Each structure stands twice: as C-alpha cells, then as structure tokens.
Amino acid sequence: MSGTAVIFRRELAGYFATPVAYVFIVIFLVMSGIFTFYLGGFFERGQADLQAFFNFQPWLYLFLIPAIGMRLWAEERKTGTIELLLSLPISLAGAVLGKFLAAWAFTAIALALTFPMWITVGILGEPDNGVVVAGYIGSLLMAGGYLAITSCISAITKNQVIAFVVAIVICFAFTVSGAPLVLDFFAGWAPETILAVVSSFSFITHFSSIIDGVIDVRDIIYFASLIAFWLFANAVIVDLKKAAG
C-alpha cells in the first residue's frame, strides 16, 4: 500500500475515532435542512429541484469545512506527531495528499447522507436527476476548494483556533469575490481586467453555473486548479518549516 493510501486510511479513521465526525455530520444535516426548508423556501418554490438545498451550501461550507480541516496539520504540530510523520518513509506530497483526500472523503460521506433530500424531491415531483447529480458534483468540488485552503492554513500554525479563523476569512474572500462587497474595493482604481480576474475567482459564480445543470469544463478546471494550488502551497509551507525549525 502506498504512503498516501496509508495516511488516507489513518486520517479517515481518525475522524470516526472521536465524536468529531458524528457531531459534524449531524450539524451538517440539520443545518442543510434548515437552510433548504426555511431560508431556501423549498416548498414555496413549488419546483421539483434541489436549488434551495444547493444555493446555501457555500455558506454552510464556509464555517463547517474549516472546522473539519483545521486539525489536519495544526494538530500534528501541537502533539509533536509531525516529527514522527516527517521521519517516516513517505514523500511530503503523499502526506499532504493523503490528509486532504481523507478530509475530502469525509465531506463526501456527509454530503452523501443528504440523500433523503433527493428522495423527497423525487416523491413530490419529477426532478431532473441530471441537474441534481451535477449539483452534487459541484458541491463536492467546492468543498474540495474550501478544504484545500483550510489544509494549507492549518500547516502554518499549531493553533487550531487560528487555523479555523484565518481559513474562514480566506474562504470568505473566495466565496464572495464576485460580489460588490469585494469588487467595490477594486473598482475605481484597478483596471477592468483585474476586476474580471477577481470576480472570476468566486466560488459562487462557478458553483451556481454547475448547479444550474451545466457542467462546464472551465468550472471543473477552476476548482481542480484551485485545489492543486493550495495543496502545493501546503507542501511548500511544511517544507519551509523544516528549514526554519
């Protein structure tokens, strides 16, 4: 078994060894329900789709994903196990990837447990299942983006609270970078292209085009390269800490 797979298994089992996994899954499901049925107006919409469910997911992930990912590296540093991990015969990339994939798989499990939502829609009407599947794929990709950011931030500090808060701030910036809140800051002095670039970083822009049922290769590439970039930064940070001590 490769190092990545071994790390993956240990990390994933680690979530279920403590109450963290169960608390997270329950809160995720309850909050998803509240957002969908109350804020999203699932019934009032009178449409057999899961838009009400997916629309609020960026905001749910904004807080819950940093809560899952904050421990990835910060905890290793806190308990000193990072010294053990880095002296084992596995590559740094393998360790970074194994940890990330475990957290991502855990998110996927939580997301999969929202299937009653799909069943509900199926009973009430005739949803376009292709759109629902696209929504789930988009949701998982976006979760990966949040998670890669959190994993990288977690490598900077041994304090999980700091990792959590900083990760939320950065995730928030990526969530809303298409909104006036961020764009107004650049408007007026930055050229039009910068504005376009900044707004193209928005999770919501890419996510909402996917949940509309359009799986555009560009959106997939966006999330994939975002994940790759933050995981690369993650590895670089761990490596720099080896040099700095």
Partner 1 sequence: MAAMLEIKNLTKRFGPVLAVDDVSFDVGRGEVLGFLGPNGAGKSTTMKMVTGFLNPNGGSMRVCGHDVLREPLAAKRCIGYLPEGAPAYPDMTPHTYLNFIADIRGLTGSQRAERLDYVIARIGLDGVMEQSIETLSKGYKRRVGLAQALLHDPDVLILDEPTDGLDPNQKHEVRGLITEMAAEKAIVISTHILEEVEAVCTRAIIIAKGRVVADGTPQELEARSAYHNSVTLRLEAGAANDVRPTLEAMAGVLRVEATGDGAFILVPSGVEPIVDEVGRTARSAGWPVTELHVRPGRLDDVFRDITLDKEERT
Q: Which two tokens stand for residue 82?
A: 């990072």
- Phi, psi for residue 40 in degrees, rounded to 5: -80, -15
Please compute, for residue 127, the number of CA atoms within 13 A of its CA located in the half-sphere on the CB side: 24
17 touches partner 1 (CB under 8 A): yes
**Residue with smaller CB distance to partner 1, 11 or 49:** 11
Q: How far is the CB of 158 from partner 1 (least distance, A)?
A: 12
The residue type at 202: S
1 touches partner 1 (CB under 8 A): yes
In a 10 Å sphere around its CB, with 0-12 CB exposed, 13-18 middle and 19+ buried, how is residue 219 labelled? buried
129 touches partner 1 (CB under 8 A): no
127 touches partner 1 (CB under 8 A): no
Q: Output 83-90 pairs: Cβ under 8 A, ≥24 positions apart.
A: 86/238, 86/242, 88/3, 89/3, 90/3, 90/4, 90/6, 90/7
Residue 219 Cα to chain centre, angstroms: 15
Instruction: State whether residue 179 is helix, strand or coil.
Output: coil
Choose the stretch contacting partner 1; rule: CB under 8 A; options: 86-94, 128-136, 193-201, 210-218.
86-94
Q: Which of 22, 26, 41, 91 binds partner 1 (CB under 8 A)?
A: 91
Q: Which of 30, 34, 83, 221 binds partner 1 (CB under 8 A)?
A: 83
19 touches partner 1 (CB under 8 A): no
DSSP state of 213: T
88 touches partner 1 (CB under 8 A): yes
Q: Which of 23, 84, 187, 214 binds partner 1 (CB under 8 A)?
A: 84
**Residue with smaller CB distance to partner 1, 31 or 241:** 241
Which residues in this chain contact partner 1 in the complex, by CB under 8 A?
1, 3, 6-7, 9-10, 13-14, 17-18, 79-84, 86-91, 242-245
